[in-house]
Amino acid sequence: MALDSALQNINIIYLAGGCFWGVQAYFDRVQGVVESEVGYANSIVPNPSYELVCSGYTNAAEALRLVFNAEILTLPEIFARFFSIVDPTLLNKQGNDEGTQYRSGIYAQENAVLDNARDFIMRYIAPKYVADICTEVCLLQNFYPAESYHQKYLDKNPHGYCHIDIMGASRPIHFKE
């Protein structure tokens, strides 16, 4: 019985914030994350390779599949942390990475999660910027895991390029609900 109630608090959200290496490394350091996997979200080509995604042909976004315990890590905290590591006003770019695969996005299979994301953006993110918010918020159509060498890449290659301050994951996030 206790296991069933624990599983009820396990949720999944998909986050695209530029290069997926840094997004994964950041969130893997956040308390409440159960599991993470990088891959390609909303591709028009089944099971695309990294090279194909980089060509722009697939329309896939580099994304993180984030499995989390909602009793420990809430959606508002996930959103606040996500927007602390991306520039939501940039279209198809984060850091030095450019291309449609590097767009920022929040994807889920439940409309309620997407509604929460839109509300969070409207209340907390949009007022901070003069420019329009480009982060897409939409239903997840598909997710294909990336090649094994991309999984936990920055753990295996600690000096690899990353536009994200990974150590920021250990700092508290401040926002008012």
Position 149: which residue type? Y
Give the Cα separation of 49 and 131 in Å (integer): 33
Question: DSSP assignment, residue 124?
Answer: I
41, 15 Cβ separation under 8 angstroms: no
Residue of 19, 54, 138, 162 marked catalytic: 19
Q: What are phi and psi for residue 35, nearest 5 degrees?
A: -160, 150
- Cβ atoms within 10 A of the Cβ of 35, count? 11
Residue 11: closest CA among 63, 64, 71 = 71
Position 54: which residue type? C
3-class DSSP state of 20: helix
79 membership: H or E segment, kind and range: helix 75-85
Active site residue 19: yes
Catalytic residue IDs:
19
